[in-house]
Structure 1
Amino acid sequence: MNTEAALKEAVTAIEGAVGAALVDYTSGMALGTIGGDKQFDLTVAAAGNTDVVRAKMRTMEMLGLQDEIEDILITLGSQYHLIRLLRNRSGAGLFLYLALDKVRANLAMARLQLRRIEKELEI
């Protein structure tokens, strides 16, 4: 599945999804976005969450942790923000970003669905 199809799948198949993006964390650039609105600019969110990913990777390196980040969860008052780093070779340096409405979302199911989408994504 290509980027556009994967992002569309994320916002239609995942209950409570309000937006999704595929992001290059080396540049902070969104390679694709879907959803969001004037109050929630996914391009800005993509760039900002790049800093989150970089900070976590630096921290792991300083701690000497020889492990991989599966996902990062940020819990807000009304939303969940889920960052899933891509593991396949063609996805190196990329992450899927998903914003969810906290009231409508099932976090465990969202994580499972995002993992499935990641496996089907072809870059």
Structure 2
Amino acid sequence: MALQGVHGASLIDFPSGSVIGAAGRGPGSIGDAPADAADMIHATMQTAAFATVGQPAHVEDIVITAGNGYHVMRLLRSDIEARMVLYLWLDRSVGNLVVAQRQLSAVAAQISAN
């Protein structure tokens, strides 16, 4: 939440769509948003591009550019067995997408190390 332009952040268990923790606005504070984020991750991971024979493709972030900002979902593990996702809602007019992705990467590494 310390990044400029962040509206909200959440930690989501994406197989169930449950919010583990949330700050600000976004999944966890807006109705079905956690389940919607989980559905987006499932859809991405199940597409032909990621359902390859052998080792699945490497997915770090899923970014949705919308009229109300950037919605960034960072998988804590980049493979098909990932369960936890960091979600960030960033204001397009004042936030910096690249800085936000780098910060999410650092936070994900800290969480994964624990």
- Equivalent position to 2:62, from 46, 56, 72: 72
Q: Give the TM-score, by structure 1 length.
A: 0.77
- Equivalent position to 2:35, from 42, 47, 53: 47
Q: Give the TM-score, by structure 2 length.
A: 0.82
Calculate the aligned-residue CA RMSD, in Å: 2.3
- Deviation digits for residues 65-106 of structure 1, max 9, x if unmatched? 731210000001130000000028xx9411000000111101
3-state DSSP of counterpart to 2:46:
helix
Q: Is the CA contact 1:72–1:82 (under 8 Å) kept in the aligned structure 2? A: yes
1:16 alignment counterpart: 5
Mapping of residues 1-123 of structure 1, within 5 Å:
11-12=1-2, 14-36=3-25, 41-42=29-30, 44-59=32-47, 60-61=50-51, 64=53, 66-87=56-77, 92-121=82-111
Q: Is the CA contact 1:19–1:42 (under 8 Å) kept in the aligned structure 2? A: no
Question: What is the total number of aligned residue pairs between the two structures?
Answer: 107
3-state DSSP of counterpart to 1:121:
helix
- Give unmatched runs, 5+ long, in structure 2: none
Moved over 2 A (4+): 40-44, 63-66
Q: Is the CA contact 1:83–1:95 (under 8 Å) kept in the aligned structure 2? A: yes
3-state DSSP of counterpart to 1:112:
helix
- Give unmatched runs, 5+ long, in structure 1: 1-10
Report the Cα offset of residue 42 of structure 1.
4.2
Q: Percent identity?
A: 36
- Larger RCO, structure (CA 8 Å, separation 6 or more): 1
